[in-house]
Each structure stands twice: as structure tokens, then as C-alpha cells.
Structure 1
Amino acid sequence: MTTTTTNPTTPSNVLPLRGRFDGIERPYTEDDVRRLRGSLRVEHTIARHGAERLWQLMHERPFVRALGALTGNQAVQMVRGGLEAIYMSGWQVAADGNPSGMYPDQSLYPADGVPNLVRRINQSLQRADQIDHAEGRTKHHWFAPIVADAEAGFGGPLNAFELMKSMIAAGAAGVHFEDQLSSAKKCGHLGGKVLVPTNQFIRTLVAARLAADVMDVPTVLIARTDADSARLLTSDVDPADRPFIK
């Protein structure tokens, strides 16, 4: 595949988004994106609005405050209390929003667990917005951007691609992936964490960005690492990792 710096997704005219992807190389073409979209263009309004607003807030504030919400009512109260963004943790879902039982932070829940919670919270925020709009109240911006935890992607690049699509369809504004080995995922506070090589993690991130481009949403994609405390790596063949291996 060829490399292109052309943006397959066209952001709106929100000022901070102009030039957002300048200098970013994508190892796929606009034709690849169009081919994967299908013949019917589906709009993802909440995800697009959230991504644009999150990016704008990040340029207007030193930082954006957020708390983790597990229910729609919690999210409504957070926005009513003045928070401008909502966080969605995989740990929360594993422990208290898990149809498979109550587990620690080890990705022991269905891959659609976080997208389903994102969808429910957005539905609650949408209802709060409808009520205020009907009564002429404009104090709160109810569609607070949701930043969602995608763990280590629940597998390889294809899994990350499908998970990112599900996050966007549910209305997530930002999504973060981590560089742990998905099958050995552990909470960041625990020992025994296993990382994947840098270039393998990059493939996960590329798959996630491709999914966002296919969905035509400028999702804020966040890469996080456990390299500061992890001591294990699946392979030392990646030249990018060698300066940091002891």
C-alpha cells in the first residue's frame, strides 16, 4: 500500500480542526477508505460532534476535567455539575457493568461492553438535552464528549478496527488503546505486564484510525503505554525498542 498525507476524512470548519492532520502519514489511500465505506454513507452525528468539541476544548483549556461514569444518570449529574467531558473505563465495565460477572481490570468482559455503555450514556445525555431544549433552557452543553477505553484492542489489528467502529457508532468522541499484549492484559498497577513491540502497536493504531476514516469521524485517537512499569516484551526484534531494552 502507498503512503498518503491526504486526509480521507474531512473535518468541519471548527477552527481548531483546521490542519489537524497535517503531516500525519496514513499507510492507506482515500480509495481504500471509500472502498471500505460501502455504497451508503452513514452519519455518526454524536461521535463527530463529540470529537470536534473535545479537540476544541483541548485547545481552549490547559486540560479537560473528566470523571468516569458507569450509568447515564451519573453522566447527567456530572454535566449538571460542570464537567465538560466524560470518561469510560474498561476497569469500570469489568467490575460493575459486566454481563459475564465481576472481574478485575484484565479485559475479562465482552468486547462490546464499553461501546454499549457509551451508547447508554449518550442516550441519557440526549434525553437531558431534549428536555432542556423543549423548555428553552440553554445552561448546559449536554453532549459532553466521551473518552472511551479500548484496552489493548481485544486482539490484533482487525479486532481494533472493528472495536473502533463500534465505539464511533455508539458516539465516542475519543478512544484510547494501550500497548499491552491483549491476551495477557493486566491492570496498570499490577506486575507482570507484557508489552508488544512498538511497530505492532502502531499497526493497532493505524487500524483504529482507518476505522475512524471509514466512519468519516475525526475521532481523537489516544495511544497510551505501560512501558514505564512493564518489564516484559513479547519480542526484541523491533529496532525501535532496542534502545530501551536492558
Structure 2
Amino acid sequence: MKTRTQQIEELQKEWTQPRWEGITRPYSAEDVVKLRGSVNPECTLAQLGAAKMWRLLHGESKKGYINSLGALTGGQALQQAKAGIEAVYLSGWQVAADANLAASMYPDQSLYPANSVPAVVERINNTFRRADQIQWSAGIEPGDPRYVDYFLPIVADAEAGFGGVLNAFELMKAMIEAGAAAVHFEDQLASVKKCGHMGG
């Protein structure tokens, strides 16, 4: 286990990377390390997905842009990976309409349980993991023409955060733990949230 000092130094070094250029923090690496505890859980799928998404956004996309489709199920996301799509989008309206944990159909107004989108992110990543295990067990590795990179970055919709800042924090934490590569929040009052495509 790394000491507190080692963790602080490691985080300070990470913050000097070009990826964080222009970011201003009103807190120190020591503040972060103090609050996270002695063991820092690794969220491998979120880290790998975020790194891949960053590379796609900065020039590694096949077409000069990132094409993406919405997916409600692991099976849909799996087919997207096989088709060469570079990222998966998980929309809140899709979850509201069909894939929420209340098993109901809702309008795009954040009426469904707040953990519904992280649950779908986890299901998609579980499908990616299983597909990867199958091809790995068959001896198919990167470089093989049959190889499919199943671990597409998942961009997830966090709606307007489902409440106040603490609700948004817990939702973001759940997204990371589920393996989301990127998450967006709508800039509107969560208690009166409406579809982002509507005027007003």
C-alpha cells in the first residue's frame, strides 16, 4: 500500500499531464488524498473507457469524428462494437422510456429511479466483458483480423442530477463504479427537469 505522501506526490504528478492543462482546482492533491481513504479503489472499466474516449476526442477516431448510437441493452452495444462503432451513447430518455429499474415507461423528466442509468452501464459492460472473455479463450488477441475491441467507451446521460449536489455526486460515483467513460449532466433544475430538446 502506498503512503499518504506517495499518493499525494503521484496525484500531483498526474495533474501536470497535458490532459489537465487549463484546469484550475480550488483544492490540493493533499485535500483529495485526505478524503479518499488509505485504499483507492480502481475502477478499471471507467479508467480504460475514459482514456480511450480522450484519445478518440483528440485525433484517434477512424473518421475524424466519433460516431455513436444509443444502446439500451448489452446485445445492442455488442452489435455496435462488431460494426465498428467507436463509442456507445446511453440516453436518459431511452432509460426513462424502457430500461429503468421501475420497469415502467416514463417521459424524459427524471421520474425513474436514479440508479437506472448506472445499472444499464453495468449491464453493457458485463456484456463487453463476456464477449471479450469468449474471444480471449479462443486465442483471439489484438492484431488478429478476427479481434473485436469490445470495450467501447460508454457516454452516459445523468439527466439533471436527480436532486442537489450530493445527489449528483452519488450518481456520478455510481456511473464511475459501473464503468462509464464519460457522463454529461443537463444544466437545469432537477426538480422541474424536462426533455433537453424542448424549448423554455
CA offsets per residue over residues 8-50 of structure 1, 9 Å max, x none?
4765xxxxx9411112111222122112212222111111000
CA contact (8 A) 2:186 2:196 kept: no
For the residue of structure 2 that corresponds to 1:168, the secondary structure is helix
Identity score, percent = 58
Please tell me the residue identity of whatever aligns with 1:49.
L
CA contact (8 A) 1:88 1:146 kept: yes
Please tell me the residue identity of whatever aligns with 1:25.
T
CA contact (8 A) 1:7 1:21 kept: no
CA distance in 2, matches of 1:156, 1:183: 9
Partner of 1:37: 36
Partner of 2:120: 117
CA distance in 2, matches of 1:189, 1:24: 30
Unpaired runs of 5+ in structure 1?
Answer: 1-5, 12-16, 192-229, 231-246
Computed over aligned residues only, the root mean square deviation of the Cα atoms, in angstroms, reads 2.1
For the residue of structure 2 that corresponds to 1:31, the secondary structure is helix
Kindly indicate whether residue 171 of structure 2 is the aligned counterpart of residue 163 of structure 1: yes
For the residue of structure 1 that corresponds to 2:139, the secondary structure is coil
Please tell me the residue identity of whatever aligns with 1:84.
E
Partner of 2:4: none
Partner of 2:90: 88
Partner of 2:110: 107
Pairing 1:11-160 to 2, within 5 Å after superposition: 18-60=17-59, 61=61, 62-100=64-102, 101-138=104-141, 139-160=147-168
Please tell me the residue identity of whatever aligns with 1:95.
A
CA distance in 1, matches of 2:17, 2:74: 32
Please tell me the residue identity of whatever aligns with 1:107.
S
Pairing 1:186-205 to 2, within 5 Å after superposition: 186-191=194-199
CA distance in 2, matches of 1:99, 1:172: 18
CA contact (8 A) 1:8 1:29 kept: no
4+ long deviations beyond 4 Å: 6-11
Of 101-110 and 29-38, deviating more is: 29-38
Deviation (angstroms), 1:83: 0.7
CA contact (8 A) 2:72 2:90 kept: yes
